[in-house]
Amino acid sequence: MGENLFTKLLMSGRITFDEDRLKILDAFQIIFPISTFLKLRQILLEKNESSAVLILKELGRYQVVQALHRYKKNLNLDKISKEKTIEFMIQHSALMGFGKISFINFDIKPLNIIINDINNPLAIEYKVLYGISKKPIDEYFAGLLEGLYSEILQKNIECKETLCIAKGDKVCQFEIMEKKSKKSKN
């Protein structure tokens, strides 16, 4: 098995510790336990469930779009194919700690992408802390995927988590499709 992205970045000097701050691919980072992220998710859900879901998805979209803009500038990501960009970003999701990602289906025309995360640490930790969930819990990761595919394909993308380890499923599964436009009422 080849080196993972974290090791490659560390060995190439793309992960540094500058002035007591962690920097990965030219962006400063903080690290906190999954339980802290899940607690934030719970607090948001308790305040307003529908808003919490939208906020977490939007946060995921924001993070990946910002990362893509940095990588286009610093890694010349815009000079490689869409497929290679997607492959790099999936490797990057492992670097971020989202587990092992595999493609079940990858069709761009018409858009039909299905991704499995077989060891999603958020969903696994959720079960430990809160028990079995009634609903999928990976709104943030779904937002990352929406942002990634929207940016790369220049389309309005929707991502739905259809299976979730936190619900008792064996994998977390995400379906990525073009968002259906709402017809205006006249």
CA distances 47 to 27, 58, 130, 138, 181, Å, are 31, 17, 18, 18, 29
Cα 139 from Cα 157, distance rounded (Å) = 14
pLDDT exceeding 70 applies to what percent of the chain? 96
Helices (H), 12-138: 34-47, 49-74, 82-95, 121-130
**Which whole number is the average pLDDT over 80-97?**
79
* CATH, domain 32-178, list 2.60.40.10, 3.40.630.10, 3.30.70.260, 3.30.1380.20: 3.30.1380.20
In this predicted model, what pLDDT tens digit does every residue of 34-67 receive, in sequence order? 999 999 999 999 999 999 999 999 999 999 999 8
Structure confidence at residue 1 (pLDDT): 42
Q: Is 47 helix (H, G, I), strand (E, B) or coil?
A: helix
Comparing C-alpha atoms, which of 120, 101, 134 is closest to residue 37? 120
Comparing C-alpha atoms, which of 142, 136, 140, 138 is closest to residue 167? 136
Place of tokens 């903080």: 30
For the chain, give every domain's residue range. 32-178
Least confident of 23-32, 33-42, 118-127, 132-141: 23-32
Cα 137 from Cα 5, distance rounded (Å) = 26
CA distances 36 to 40, 65, 95, 119, Å, are 6, 23, 18, 19
**Which whole number is the average pLDDT over 156-168?**
97
pTM for this predicted structure: 0.86
